[in-house]
Amino acid sequence: MTALQEPPTEAGEPRPDVAAEQRSAALRLGLIVLAGIVASLVAGVGKTVLVVLAIIVMIMLHEGGHFAMAKLGRMKVTEYFLGFGPRLWSIRRGETEYGIKAIPAGGYVKIPGMSNLEEVDPADEPRTYRQQPFWPRFGVAVAGSTTHFVLAAVLLWALIAFVGRPDPHKVTVGALIALENGPSPAQQAGFQPGDRIVAVDGRPVRSVDDVAAATRSHPNQPVTFVLRRHVGDVAVTATPIDLSKVQVKGEQATAQPTGFVGVEMHLGLSTANPVAAVGTAATQLGSTIWLTMKALGAPAHQRPTPPGSCRRWASFGWRPRRPTPGSTTCSTC
């Protein structure tokens, strides 16, 4: 594919034959990208490609911040490109050329007069970067970085409002743990991944601690769990084994009788009202920025713990463990 840079018409739009060729080039480029995506899915590297595409979007949003502020400041923007090197495809709209270049190592926006040494057409000089007052130039300079903070706030808002955050009051079954010599009490009782544990022995569950305490304190004694599923609430009875007498892979043996049913507990997700989520997202973003800045100047052993970080108990004996990134696993029982 080649760049199309034929002279535009007086109205600033490309000639009809050039416009048709541009559409054809754009279609060919789109088909190549689509074929690459399909090939990546077939090869099993679709997630990697999605990460690359996300980075590309992030880069162009960054450049879009510079672009928008330059236009707002009435500066002339001549190019808005993804990549560097030879042009693969481009299209001109008005005074700006948009396109893709061969080396996808970033992106750029070209504004005439970014330095005092650059030669510029005298007709364009009043709209160059160097001829603008301080604040418009400052706005262009910081717009790209500001875009990342805005993007973070929007994604955080969407997460809180539509995906949900781990709720310490919603204890769910993440996975079932089998014993080395057979099924665990949870498997025998009929626990299923995704079940929400709403009550234990008639007492409402408000945290992982409630389930842990009830299970730990009843080795070899039947315990009734109320599990909430899509079909409604289901009551099951499991008899915890005694970890002081039975060895479970991945769990420490205990000196005292300690109950264990073989459930890996997760925290369920809760969404917020989209309006309320705006304030929550802003607060969470501000807190994350503050903790990051605070951690940069603190020794490793004094670095703050992010809010909502999870702790895990093995046999409910308070054994701290670093959670897997992105995991909401808090405990096994």
Helix axis angle, 134-158 to 274-296, nearest 10°? 110
69: how many CB neighbours lie within 10 A of its CB? 23
Picking from 108, 54, 67, 62, the residue whose alpha carbon sits closest to that of residue 85 is 108
Determine the 3-state secondary structure of 99 from DSSP: strand
| Terminal Cα distance for the chain, rounded | 61
Helix axis angle, 134-158 to 46-72, nearest 10°? 140
Contact 305, 322 (CB under 8 A): no
Picking from 272, 280, 268, 263, the residue whose alpha carbon sits closest to that of residue 168 is 268
**207: amino acid identity, one letter:** S
Residues tagged active-site: 63
254: how many CB neighbours lie within 10 A of its CB? 19
Structure tokens, 267:
């925290």
What gap in Å lies between CA 277 and CA 163, rounded to an integer? 11
What gap in Å lies between CA 102 and CA 85, rounded to an integer? 6
The burial class, CB within 10 Å (0-12 / 13-18 / 19+), for 209 is middle
235 phi/psi in degrees, rounded to 5: -100, 130
What gap in Å lies between CA 160 and CA 270, rounded to an integer? 8
Beta-ladder partners of 103: 84
* Tokens 């707002």 -> residue: 72
What gap in Å lies between CA 229 and CA 2, rounded to an integer? 58
